[in-house]
Amino acid sequence: MRLETLAVHAGGEPDAETGAIAPPIHMATTFRHGPAGERQAGFEYVREGNPTQGRLETALAALEQGEAALAFGSGMAAMTALLESLPAGATVLIPTDCYTGLRVLAEEFLPRGGVRAIATDMADLAAVDTQLRAGAHAVWLETPSNPQLQLADIGAIAALARSAGALLFCDNTFATPALQRPLSLGADVVMHSTTKYFGGHSDVMGGALVFARGDALYERVAHRRHVTGGVLAPFNAWLTLRGLRSLPARMSWHCANARRIAEFLSGHARVAAVNYPGLTDHAGHAIACRQMADFGAMLSFRVAGGRDAALAAAGRLQLIHNATSLGGCETLIEHRASVEGTNPVSPQDLLRLSVGLEHADDLIADLDQALNG
């Protein structure tokens, strides 16, 4: 079945008891044992799993073409459960440009479990290969990356990882399975912040891991979730499932809007540079054409005049909200350096844009007046 059809139907069997087309929200924290103490429908206690979350996991696995999926209370809970499942002494390569939460996790928390992260330029395949041959246990990709929209060649890095006996993990939050299926390109696990495009309405937090195989790694991470408890609430599972029904449809509108805005910004006198993989002069454009069905709806751009000019332009926007996060219906802009804590790594003149589902003409008019000041 095609992705659009799977998104509408996966995990959506009508309720056996009532025939309800929309799935019930099972809020139960506990499930009755059978006469011999056995499970009656596979469930026991909500921290281990529940039927509403099970439906979401079925849908996530179908969309990413994996054998198994695990839902978590946030993207960071998903990422942490996976990376902390690496053996003590393991090394993981992470991208030089990546989500701030990954960088902080790698610096402050992973070392306590004996896991070391090495920031690596994922566009430099020789550098990745050198680290793999030196014994790296896993590679973490984020493509396109947050916030600089750098691309990594998933298939090429999967081949290098496989020949070195290493695992490949891919944060697919920006692209979503509507545009990119890392498991089909050789990745072992895909991670999502479902808070973003899956939920799609800026009103529900969640995270997910989708595994190429329901193997020992999957079992280890499922056990870790059960014990450490980074689980998703049933109501949040239901909202996320509701959101993903329209994911492919939303992504095509998101992408069409983003393409127009990227072109508009590239021609604007007050814009010094635009990072959008759909632009032919983007360093990762050729890779994006190979591994993505479209170029996504995240972009970042550098404002001529530096930090003050960037902040002033963001402050003049009327329709576009200055707020963190992404993937909702409403367009959001953010000065990343301001939210990166005491050691910001993003350029001071950089604004990140999550292009929403408004009409592109209205968004362009707002950006134009804000940039022209």
Ligand X SMILES: *Cc1c(COP(=O)(O)O)cnc(C)c1O
User: Of 23 and 147, which has the nearer Cβ to ligand X?
Assistant: 147
By CB under 6 A, residue 101 contacts ligand X: yes
| Total of residues contacting ligand X (CB under 6 A) | 15
By CB under 6 A, residue 167 contacts ligand X: no
By CB under 6 A, residue 197 contacts ligand X: no
218-228 burial, b if ≥16 CB within 10 A, otherwise e? beebbebbeee
Per CB under 6 A, which region of 9-17, 74-82, 230-238, 305-313 contacts ligand X? 74-82
User: Of 176 and 195, which has the nearer Cβ to ligand X?
Assistant: 195
Catalytic residue of the set 55, 97, 99, 250: 99
Closest to 91 (Cα-Cα) out of 127, 132, 126: 132
Catalytic residue of the set 55, 103, 181, 196: 196
Per CB under 6 A, which region of 110-118, 189-197, 248-256, 359-367 contacts ligand X? 189-197
Residue type at 78 in one-letter notation = A
By CB under 6 A, residue 146 contacts ligand X: yes
Checking phi first, is residue 121 left (phi over 0); if not, alpha (psi -120 to 50) or beta? Answer: beta
Burial class (CB in 10 A: 0-12, 13-18, 19+), 108: exposed
Residue 327 C-beta: closest distance to ligand X, Å: 8
Cis peptide before 147 (omega within 30 of 0): yes
* Nearest residue relative to ligand X (C-beta): 75
| Alpha carbons 167 and 101: distance in angstroms, whole number | 21
To the query of whether residue 171 is one of the catalytic residues in this protein, the response is yes
Question: Do the beta carbons of residue 250 and residue 355 sit within 8 Å?
Answer: no
Phi then psi for residue 178, to 5 deg, are -65, -25
Per CB under 6 A, which region of 23-31, 192-200, 257-265, 360-368 contacts ligand X? 192-200
Element (H, E) at 117: strand 116-120
User: Of 270 and 331, which has the nearer Cβ to ligand X?
Assistant: 331
By CB under 6 A, residue 171 contacts ligand X: yes
| Alpha carbons 369 and 366: distance in angstroms, whole number | 5
By CB under 6 A, residue 76 contacts ligand X: yes
Residue 60 C-beta: closest distance to ligand X, Å: 14
To the query of whether residue 196 is one of the catalytic residues in this protein, the response is yes
CA-based torsion, 18, 24, 28, 29: positive or negative:
positive
72-93 burial, b if ≥16 CB within 10 A, otherwise e? bbbbbbbbbbbbbbbeeebbbb
Phi then psi for residue 302, to 5 deg, are -105, 130
To the query of whether residue 99 is one of the catalytic residues in this protein, the response is yes
By CB under 6 A, residue 113 contacts ligand X: no
Q: Site for ligand X (CB under 6 A): which residue of 63, 94, 110, 205?
A: 205
306-316 vs 360-372: helix axis angle to the nearest 10?
130
By CB under 6 A, residue 299 contacts ligand X: no
Site string for ligand X, 3-22 (x = CB under 6 A): --------------------
To the query of whether residue 203 is one of the catalytic residues in this protein, the response is no
Per CB under 6 A, which region of 19-27, 69-77, 115-123, 245-253 contacts ligand X? 69-77
Q: Which residue has 């990166």 as its token pair?
A: 340
CA-based torsion, 329, 252, 199, 339: positive or negative:
negative
By CB under 6 A, residue 75 contacts ligand X: yes
In this structure, the number of other CB atoms found within 10 A of the CB of residue 267 comes to: 9
Catalytic residue of the set 97, 153, 171, 188: 171
User: Of 208 and 320, which has the nearer Cβ to ligand X?
Assistant: 208
Per CB under 6 A, which region of 81-89, 193-201, 264-272, 365-373 contacts ligand X? 193-201
Q: Site for ligand X (CB under 6 A): which residue of 52, 74, 131, 236?
A: 74
Catalytic (active-site) positions: 47, 99, 171, 196
Interface positions with ligand X (CB under 6 A): 74-76, 99, 101, 142, 146, 171, 173-174, 193, 195-196, 205, 207
